[in-house]
């Protein structure tokens, strides 16, 4: 009878129970450390990039410093002139980036009538820069006077000219003065969203009410809405204009000139302000996203 083999103590062949393709424990730990470094680094980079883009998008505009009103004095050479002045045209034009022309014209109520104005009739037009005294050749506000037509004269903190009234033709009864200033603006401040224009104070020796026309030939003036302060008389791509009454002298005896106080008109560019609001909102969203990414990076770095 054949003996059965004794299988007692025989050890079965060992078999691996690890799933096929599973990396050893050391490799898993190594990948975990890499992930712990990589994820926070990526989140930090994304967060910083989004925040920087938000900072670039955030609108930045220079503050508009409200200009101070200048002073203009208008005085006739005789009682005839003082009693017939009816209009003053005050025009500011940027003729070059660093040169501003102040053009002042005084009209009598006999405009266009030949030989009506007495010979030798003139008007003294005096200008003092806003907020400062005037020295020879320059304004205290840093706007030097370059030249005048007629010739510049100085005194008492003013630059003044004495144009004569024309006596014939279409300009009969008109006297004009031009003052060129080394300035990149005159009474105008703007930042694209808000603008301010300072109207001059008028000291008038005329004895009858007169009209003052203020024209600012600045191309951007029509980009603003002025209705909330002093509505403009006209607005075009070349500039804008305002009109107001001038206070006359107290009496024919010139016991005191009439003073029309300077004013400041405020303009609003609604489309620019809306654009700023949109960019501010978008930048705020980006700041939130970027901040969230940075917080996530910190949390990933602290995770076991």
- The two three-digit tokens of residue 67, written as one number: 């200009």
Q: Is there a domain that residue 216 lies in?
A: yes
| pLDDT band (50, 70, 90) for residue 112 | confident
Q: pLDDT at residue 102 above 70?
A: yes
Residue 191 has pLDDT above 60, yes or no: yes
Structure-model confidence comparison of residues 280 and 202, the more confident one: 202
Residue 30 domain-assigned? no
Long-range contacts of 283-288 (CB under 8 A, 24+ apart): 283/54, 283/55, 283/57, 283/58, 284/54, 285/54, 286/50, 286/51, 286/53, 286/54, 286/57, 287/51, 287/54
Look up residue 264 and give its two tokens: 């400041």
108 found inside a domain: yes
Domain that holds residue 182: 71-268
Does any domain span residue 10? no
The more confidently predicted of residues 164 and 299 is 164
Residue 197 belongs to what H/E stretch?
Answer: strand 194-198
Q: Are strands 123-128 and 158-161 parallel, antiparallel or unpaired?
A: antiparallel
Q: What is the rounded average pLDDT of the residues 250-274?
A: 78
The answer on pLDDT for 178 being more than 70 is yes
**Residue-level pLDDT at 86:** 95
Q: Can you tell me whether residue 138 is helix, strand or coil?
A: strand
pLDDT in tens, 6-41: 555 555 555 555 555 555 555 555 556 777 777 777
**Domains identified in the chain, total number:** 1
Residues whose CB falls within 8 Å of the CB of residue 104, separated by 6 or more in sequence, listed in order: 72, 74, 88, 89, 90, 91, 125, 127, 176, 177, 178, 179
Q: Which long-range contacts (CB under 8 A, 24 or more apart) does 151-155 make?
A: 152/179
pLDDT band of residue 140 (cuts 50, 70, 90) is: very low
In the chain the first and final C-alpha atoms are separated, in Å, by 68
Higher pLDDT: 2 or 197? It is: 197
CA distances 270 to 58, 136, 273, Å, are 18, 42, 5
56: in domain? no
Q: Kindly state whether residue 24 falls inside one of the protein's structural domains.
A: no
Answer whether residue 261 is part of any domain. Answer: yes
Q: Which helix (H) or strand (E) holds 84?
A: helix 79-84
For residue 17, the model assigns a pLDDT of 53
Highest mean pLDDT among 172-176, 220-224, 292-296: 172-176
pLDDT band for position 132 (50/70/90)?
Answer: very low
Is 121 contained in some domain?
yes
Name the more confident of 260 and 295. Answer: 260
Give the per-residue pLDDT at 205.
94
User: For residues 252 and 80, is the Cβ–Cβ distance under 8 A?
Assistant: no
């Amino acid at each position: 009878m054949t003996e059965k083999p004794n299988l007692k103590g025989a050890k079965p062949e060992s078999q691996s129970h690890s799933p096929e393709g599973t990396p050893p424990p050391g490799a898993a730990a190594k990948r975990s450390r890499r992930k712990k470094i990589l994820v926070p680094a990526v989140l930090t980079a994304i967060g910083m990039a989004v925040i920087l883009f938000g900072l670039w998008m955030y609108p930045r505009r220079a503050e508009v410093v409200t200009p101070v009103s200048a002073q203009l004095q208008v005085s006739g050479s005789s009682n005839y002139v003082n009693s017939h002045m009816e209009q003053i045209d005050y025009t500011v034009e940027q003729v070059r980036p660093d040169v501003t022309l102040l053009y002042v014209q005084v009209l009598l109520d006999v405009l266009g009538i030949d030989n009506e104005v007495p010979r030798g009739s003139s008007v003294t037009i005096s200008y003092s820069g806003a907020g400062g005294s005037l020295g020879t050749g320059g304004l205290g506000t840093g706007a030097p006077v370059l030249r005048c037509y007629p010739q510049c004269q100085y005194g008492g903190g003013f630059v003044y000219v004495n144009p004569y009234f024309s006596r014939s033709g279409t300009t009969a009864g008109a006297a004009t003065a031009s003052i060129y200033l080394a300035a990149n603006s005159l009474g105008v401040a703007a930042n694209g969203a808000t603008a301010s224009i300072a109207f001059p104070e008028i000291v008038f020796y005329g004895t009858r009410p007169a009209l003052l026309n203020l024209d600012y030939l600045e191309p951007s003036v029509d980009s603003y809405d002025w209705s909330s302060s002093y509505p403009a008389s006209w607005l075009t791509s070349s500039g804008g204009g305002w009109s107001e009454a001038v206070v006359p002298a107290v009496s024919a005896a010139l016991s005191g000139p009439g003073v029309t106080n300077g004013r400041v008109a405020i303009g609003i560019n609604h489309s620019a302000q809306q654009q700023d609001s949109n960019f501010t909102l978008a930048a705020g969203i980006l700041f939130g996203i970027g901040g969230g990414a940075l917080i996530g990076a910190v949390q990933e770095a602290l995770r076991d």
